[in-house]
Structure 1
């Protein structure tokens, strides 16, 4: 990353721990502390050399699901001791983990896939470990959020990751309404079964925006489908739920001068002379980028002769 105000002649500074890496492989100890360690999101080759070193040297590897992590360990011949750490046992496990850290343990934290703490358990452990003065560091790597952003073809200079939306439609629409004015690209995780409904709600709450649906990232059947929210909602409504884990990337609201109600009414009245209420609303939403619900309510009022 670079700052446009930085000295153009400045070069990034890199450090090398190649010597330390070699000593770890020969059996030397890893410094005590908590190591937040990214793992692949699909392709096992995406793990870093540094992550492999730490996982091999750690006294304990905290796993969201030990069965998932054991498959990765089998590929790389890692025989580290694994312990489950997830939403259901975190409150019970944290004091025990902190005790181990206090005694000088080297503990790695991984999730099933990607970077821990990004829609995965872990932030309370990191917070409490820091508060108690333990060494905490990160081993960055794969992230479905970052992978989807780089493939979507949408602005990346400012983005907001919102995780999973509510499974209930009313709450989901309320959440989307709160996000509508945010001047940034939005990133969501979603289940395959709710994909079409969520995209339709996004189209209504956020207005007409470009978006991308990314699934199976880094895997054999990786797919990124791009289009407007309306187009993507119609596609998945017809095609059905796709396979794989899904990331939705939605472009930011288009910059526009504020429109007064008279201007919006004039656009609607003109469209209503040529089209049905549904089509007129779609036309004005596309022109203004305003939420469909707002435009639809005003269109009904105008078509019924209201003020």
Structure 2
């Protein structure tokens, strides 16, 4: 039986030092109380912390009442040079390096991925101390189906890239999650609502903060919702595509027939197309021309 007490939670003891060459630490996205016990303890104990912006990190540590005067704090960001990467690798091999994002998960909106890849390529152990992040918080609040979902980060700024993004979403069944800046939120939604009037949308603003807001609407109702959207803070847009593409028509069907003509097994092909389109594999199998 699982118990919950000062030393046990969900059957696992709290604490217990987990040693890794690289530890990814997720921090709050707006509410300091969202810091996890594990994350706070590790930030207190560790000697080396890497961050995209050291000023943001020091402010966080100060608010958490963690003394950083004896800690090594390094900056690592998108423009870090190869020499910086090699320096990080040396540090990871010699001891523990802890990467902290400005907010949320290190690999979702901050440039931790190069460090993760570097660690994997050099057989350095990696650990994660998970916590709150904007895409999952938005998905929970949206009321939109959670399976499947697709996270896209920030989308293209110009109309051409936005049109390409809409085409991509139209082909992928499920809920799409992406970030947008305050200066573009309404312009982007104007375009999305025109192209996707029957889709269900949610806009989440200032997640976990005092003035958190969630707007839920159908694309065709955007103009009515638009007047209520406050253009301040950080935004996450969610768009749900409820339509599964028909594999019996269009380019997918043409490609399927070409693959069949080269000797592919229909059953295997139908399973592959089901993974891509979200349609039932048996329905796809029945539509394929197997002559």
Interval of TM-score (by shorter of Structure 1 and Structure 2): 0.7 to 0.9
Partner of 1:248: 237
Mapped pair 1:56 → 2:47: no
Residue 60 of structure 1, CA deviation: 1.5
In 2, are the aligned partners of 1:193 and 1:241 still within 8 Å (CA)? no
Retained in 2: the 8 A contact 1:200–1:229?
Answer: no
TM-superposed CA distance for 1:200, in Å, is 2.0
- Equivalent-residue separation in structure 2 for 1:172 and 1:48 (angstroms): 37
- Say whether residues 1:16 and 2:13 are aligned partners: yes
SS, match of residue 109 in structure 2: coil
Contact 1:199 1:233 in 2 (8 A): no
Cα deviation code 1:219-250 (max 9, x no counterpart)? 100100111124335543x5676111100011
Greater helix share, structure number: 1
Aligned-partner Cα distance in 2 for 1:92–1:229: 48
Q: Judging changes above 3 Å, is the alpha-carbon distance between structure 1 residues 206 and 181 closer, same or farther for their aligned structure 2 residues?
A: farther
Gaps of 5+ in 2: 1-8, 250-291
1: CA distance between counterparts of 2:153 and 2:191? 16
Q: Within 5 A, what are the aligned runs for 1:280-295?
A: none
CA shift for structure 1 position 46? 0.3
Q: List per-residue Cα deviations over 1:104-146 (Å, max 9, x = no partner).
A: x211111110011113211121011022111101100010000
Residues 20 and 127 in structure 2, CA contact (< 8 A), matched pair in contact too? no
Query: Is residue 2:26 matched to residue 1:38?
Result: yes
Tell me the secondary structure at the aligned position of residue 145 of structure 1. helix
Q: In 1, distance between residues paired with 2:208 and 2:191?
A: 28
8 Å contact from structure 2 (residues 20, 126) kept in 1: no
Aligned to 2:277: none
Q: Which has the larger radius of gyration?
A: 1
Per the alignment, do residues 126 and 211 of structure 1 end up closer, same or farther by CA in structure 2, a change over 3 Å counting? same
**1:205 Cα deviation (Å)?**
3.5
Cα displacement (A) at 1:14: 4.1
Q: 2-side partners of 1:108 and 1:233: how far apart?
A: 45
Match of residue 105, structure 2, among 103, 109, 115: 115
User: For residues 92 and 233 of structure 1, what CA distance do their matches in structure 2 show?
Assistant: 51
The number of residues matched between the two structures is: 238
Contact 1:86 1:121 in 2 (8 A): yes
TM-score normalised according to structure 1 size: 0.71
Shift of residue 85, structure 1, vs aligned partner: 1.1
Unaligned runs of 5+ residues in structure 1 are 1-11, 22-29, 261-307
1:125 is aligned, of 111, 115, 118, to 115
SS at match of 1:61: strand
Distance in 2, matches of 1:230 and 1:88, equals: 41
**8 Å Cα contact 1:34/1:134 also seen in 2:** yes
Cα contact 2:217–2:225 (8 A) shared by 1: no
